[in-house]
Amino acid sequence: MSLLDVNSVSLSFGGIKAIDGVSFRVEPGEVFTIVGPNGAGKSSLFNLISRFYPPASGSIVFDGHDLLACQPHEVVGLGLARTFQNIELFDHATVLDNLLIGRHSQRQTRWFEDLLFLPKVRREERAHRRQVEEIIDFLDLAAYRDRMILGLPYGVRKVVEIAQALVARPRLLLLDEPAAGLSVEETENMAWWIEDMQKDLGLTIVMVEHDMGLVSQVSNRVLAIAEGRPLAEGTPAEIQAHPEVIRAWLGGADEP
Amino acid sequence: MDTLQLLISGIANGCIYGLIALGFVLIYKASESVNFAQGDMMILGAFLAIALINTNQADLPFLLGLAIAGLSLGLFAYLLDALLLRRVFGQPQLTMVVLTIALGFVLRFIIGAIWGHDPVSLETPVAGQRLDIGGLAIPVIDAVIIATTVVLVALLWLFFARTRLGLAMQASSQNQMAAYYMGIPVKRVVSLVWAMSGVVAAIAGVLFAAKGAVEPSAGLVFGIKAFAAAVIGGLGSLPGALAGGLLIGIMEPFAARHLPSHVAQVSPYALMLLVLILRPSGLFAQVRQKKV
Amino acid sequence: MSKPRFKTRYDDDINRFESGGHRLQYLLLLGLALAAPWLLGSYYTGELSSVLVWSMAGMGVMLLVGHTGQVSLGHAAFMAIGAFTHLALMLRGWHFVPALMTATLVSGISGALLARPILRLSGIYLAIATLALGILVEDLAIVAEPVTGGVRGLIAPPIELFGLTIDRHGTPIAFYYLCLSLVVLVTLAYSNLLRSPTGRSFLAVRDSEISARALGVNVTRTKTLAFALSCAITGLAGALYGHLVQAVNFESFLVIISIALLLQVIVGGLGSIHGAFFGAVVIVVLPQGIAIARDLLSDVGIRVAAFPGLDMAVFALIIIVLMVLEPRGLYGVWLRVRTWFELFPLYRKGLFRRARSYLKTERLK
């Protein structure tokens, strides 16, 4: 059974169709990438899945759960975490604190127990920190643990945001343009992280990305969309050779 | 007939509320923040005018005193923005809110220290005169207030629609970054908006002091009430502010007559709270779905 | 900014105090607070009680404004709810403790109920709505005469506790210890909150609602909880305030008090418990200091008229200067001074330079 099943979803902003009947299925363990020109609706698709936007029609099922019946804050608890295109970290907190907030979906204590700081709360805190340290080791962030986000280089912030998503122990990770703004070298590192997450953590990854080098290096399957509509689906090589895709990318340059 | 008289007095009051509310909206559009000292600026304008015009004070001709008071307030507001508020530009909204609240306290104190705490009125050429229209005795000052407001609003409208500076102000309020790239000196434009709201506050203060009496502490309550007017009309809309002011001005005397006194007293705030909860964009603003 | 220390256990981060030395500092402070009545005499002990009550109210506001990022300009309303509930119950023969607990609970619950419609608003709109709420409660305090005593208000009865009769004027020291123990309890609970998931969710909501939601924080519920807890603490402070001033009526909780409360936490420094205390010290000490200065001036022959509103104006000036120079308030000034001593002679001027922060939009692209 597919882990994520997006079935002919549509989304409109004030009469303009941003997404129009897009469907795809993501199988467990694969890296599935969505590509398309700017304004094709890729990020909107992510915002639909993580419930920030309500779709006009269609269905989204994750691991047997109807996502459309969920509130946005309930999504991550089901095992579906995400990152943002322009990094939404808490700038005035340390890396460690950011990752601890990432554990929120796994909290077991209630507010009045926190207020009294019962032994149970301490036990839970230790468990949270153990998990966080595992991810810090995994993504090699130990050097930045106690640093403020505000002072970190952009490339590190990108990794911290992925770490913040990972501490929730998701099974599916939505990465919104993980390589945007990164240098060539940082992009190579990002490719390694993605492969590690897929192989070592057994994660399923859905990604939006422009950098075709990265896309063809890590993706198992690619979906191309343009103007909110699906164009083609296949392996990275198939997509790059697909005539419809080329036409959409080059903006009809081959027409008279 | 009595009702009609009450209505006209209410409209006159509402015009003053509306002018102050207009000041709130101008500043809100320019700096995405609220000037909680607007009421105190109005009182400052009123006391300046009184000091310049009243016979036991400087005894200047009425219009000359008025002009000096208005221009001084404009200059004051311009410098306030240029010297103080500009320095916290880009910080969270709360900063500006707190800064202007604090400024209100300081102004209130200075006004009280200079002019004392007794209520005073502005002497006007039309004091005590009444117009007799079809059996209705309307105080001339009410008519003057309404006429002044109409003229002022018309001038403002012309300014925003027709002049380069007005268009620049509109552009800056809609998208500061874009306006900046278009070569509009955004900072100076914002200071000029403050100056305008200072002049409007002074005029409102003069009208207020001519109709009744002012005291230094009146600014707080009056400011909050005018603020309620701006919110009811929609903080982003100039005509809405005027309409909100009129609504509150008209509502007050009728509520005072027909409702128990404590209910009447809080009716503007209750209405504001209701509007905020049910229709946060204001009664008169056209509702636009904000794109998320 | 303290000297580097190696953390060897998770508990090093979980514990309330970073180190033994840190713990010792606070124990010394507590010792000083316990010894204060002997050091200060009964008049200044009374003033210190006042600092404690305003610190408590400040903590209520700090939790909401400083840690959850929701502005309130109407918190005196919740002081009023706490004070009137508490005193009305005591005057009906309730014992001090259950009356205090009920008042705290009633304030918290009214906060939670009002939070639902109001907290959908944000920023300036929320500030305005709470302001309106404050004005309405002011009026309600007159109308609800059976509970609040109408225009005349309520007189606080003496407190019977552990066989003692505690009264602010009769036994100022006992009253001081009562305030101190309640403030210590609330402070401990507050700091517990901040080092646990609940506190982190408050901070998340303050800094980015979008991100908080994506990480699984139920933003509506978190805001409601923060509002309720904040109102409960403020209500508790209101009940104590009733005993502090001995008589309350609608004029005890005017909107101006709400505004002063907000300014208090801002002067103290938003986002730290310390700030609530620093701010309360300013609120209480400033009028005293101005009065003393005036006496000193008249002693040397300079007569200064008593200007009404001078206290508030000086306070406002302090706010204006702080907002421009050190937006983190007195706590920020304290941090600088401490760092200066710790790093002497290596302190550099730009160490605390503010990173330029732009208005972050809550919109998704």
DSSP for C210-241 reads HHHHHTT--HHHHHHHHHHHHHHHHHHHHHHH
Q: Mind telling me how many Å the CA of B23 is from chain C's nearest CA?
A: 16
Centre a 10 Å sphere on the Cβ of residue B47 and count the other Cβ atoms it contains: 24
Instruction: Tell me the C-alpha distance between B132 and B138, whole Å.
Output: 6
Q: Please name the member of C14, C198, C215 whose beta carbon is closest to the beta carbon of A105.
A: C215
Burial B107-123 (b: 16+ CB within 10 A, else e): bbbbbbbebeeeebbbb
Return the C-alpha torsion angle B203, B204, B209, B213, nearest 10. -160
* The pLDDT value given to residue C302: 73
Mean pLDDT of chain C: 84
Residue of A nearest to B292 (CA): A53
Q: Under 8 Å CB-to-CB from C310, ≥6 apart: which residues?
A: B109, C290
pLDDT at B287 over 90: no
Return the minimum-mean-pLDDT range out of A32-46, A169-183, B108-122, C348-362.
C348-362
Q: Given pLDDT bands bounded at 50, 70 and 90, which one contains residue C359?
A: very low
Prior bond to C345 cis, omega within 30? yes
Contact A14 B291 (CB under 8 A): yes
Burial of A130 (0-12, 13-18, 19+ CB in 10 A): exposed
ipTM score: 0.87
Q: Mind telling me how many Å the CA of C263 is from chain B's nearest CA?
A: 7
Bridge partner list, A65: A62
Q: Given pLDDT bands bounded at 50, 70 and 90, which one contains residue C254?
A: confident
Q: Under 8 Å CB-to-CB from A232, ≥6 apart: which residues?
A: A223, A224, A238, A239, A242, A244, A245
* The pLDDT value given to residue B289: 37
For residue range C267-290, what is the model confidence (pLDDT) as tens digits?
Answer: 888 888 988 999 999 888 888 888
Instruction: Tell me the C-alpha distance between C102 and C26, whole Å.
Output: 31
Q: Where do the domains of chain C lie? A: 19-362
Judge whether C41 is closer than 8 Å to chain B, CB to CB: no
**Which residue out of C62, C72, C124, C315 would a mutagenesis test of the B interface target, given it has the greatest number of B Cβ atoms within 10 Å?**
C124
Q: Please name the member of B34, B94, B266 whose beta carbon is closest to the beta carbon of C135.
A: B266
Of residues A253 and A123, the one with the higher pLDDT is A123
Residue of C nearest to B107 (CA): C313
**Alpha-carbon distances, residue B144 vs B6, B129, B211, C91 (angstroms):** 16, 11, 10, 56
Q: Given pLDDT bands bounded at 50, 70 and 90, which one contains residue A26?
A: very high
Report for A242-246, B151-155, C306-310: range of highest mean pLDDT: B151-155
Centre a 10 Å sphere on the Cβ of residue B125 and count the other Cβ atoms it contains: 11
Cβ atoms of residues C111 and C78 within 8 Å: yes
Judge whether A14 is closer than 8 Å to chain B, CB to CB: yes
* The pLDDT value given to residue C6: 65
Domain covering C19-362, topology: ABC transporter involved in vitamin B12 uptake, BtuC (1.10.3470)
Averaged pLDDT, A28-40: 88
**Can you read off the two tokens belonging to residue C120?**
């959908």
Contact B289 A52 (CB under 8 A): no
**Can you read off the two tokens belonging to residue A150?**
């505000």
Report for B118-132, B267-281, C178-192: range of highest mean pLDDT: C178-192
pLDDT at C349 over 70: no
Contact C213 A72 (CB under 8 A): yes
Q: Given pLDDT bands bounded at 50, 70 and 90, which one contains residue C198?
A: very high
pTM attached to this predicted model: 0.87
Mean pLDDT of chain A: 87
Averaged pLDDT, A103-122: 88
Instruction: Tell me the C-alpha distance between B57 and A8, whole Å.
Output: 79
pLDDT at A160 over 60: yes
For residue range A209-256, what is the model confidence (pLDDT) as tens digits?
Answer: 888 889 989 999 999 988 888 888 888 888 888 888 888 776 544 443
Instruction: Tell me the C-alpha distance between A181 and A179, whole Å.
Output: 6
* The pLDDT value given to residue C101: 95
Q: Given pLDDT bands bounded at 50, 70 and 90, which one contains residue C1?
A: very low
Q: Mind telling me how many Å the CA of B32 is from chain A's nearest CA?
A: 23
- How far is CA B138 from its chain centroid? 24
**Can you read off the two tokens belonging to residue C336?**
């600088």
Centre a 10 Å sphere on the Cβ of residue B246 and count the other Cβ atoms it contains: 22
* The pLDDT value given to residue C69: 87
Contact A52 B292 (CB under 8 A): yes
Contact A124 C208 (CB under 8 A): no
pLDDT at B220 over 70: yes
Q: What percent of chain C has pLDDT over 70?
A: 90
Task: List residues of chain B with CB under 8 Å from any CB of chain C.
Answer: 32-34, 84, 87-88, 90-95, 97-99, 101-106, 108-110, 112-113, 117, 220, 224, 227-228, 231, 235, 262, 265-266, 269-270, 272-273, 276-277, 280, 291-292
Contact B112 C317 (CB under 8 A): no
* The pLDDT value given to residue C2: 46
- Mind listing the domains of chain A with CATH numbers? 4-79+170-250 (3.40.50.300), 89-154 (no CATH)
Residue of B nearest to C119 (CA): B277
Instruction: List, as one string, the DSSP characters of C141-168.
Output: HHH-HHHH-TTT-EEPPPEEETTEEE-T
Instruction: List, as one string, the DSSP characters of C71-93.
Output: --S-THHHHHHHHHHHHHHHHTT
Contact B291 A13 (CB under 8 A): yes
H or E stretch at C318: helix C310-325
Residue matched to tokens 């607007």? B38
Residue of B nearest to A54 (CA): B292
Cβ atoms of residues C250 and C153 within 8 Å: yes
Centre a 10 Å sphere on the Cβ of residue A154 and count the other Cβ atoms it contains: 12
Q: How many residues does chain C have?
A: 365
Report for B175-189, B274-288, C77-91: range of highest mean pLDDT: C77-91
H or E stretch at A21: strand A16-26
* The pLDDT value given to residue C4: 53
Q: Which chains touch B (3 or more CB pairs under 8 A)?
A: A, C
Instruction: Tell me the C-alpha distance between B170 and A109, whole Å.
Output: 51
Averaged pLDDT, B116-136: 78
Region for residue A109 given its phi and psi (left: phi exceeds 0; alpha: psi -120 to 50; beta: otherwise): beta
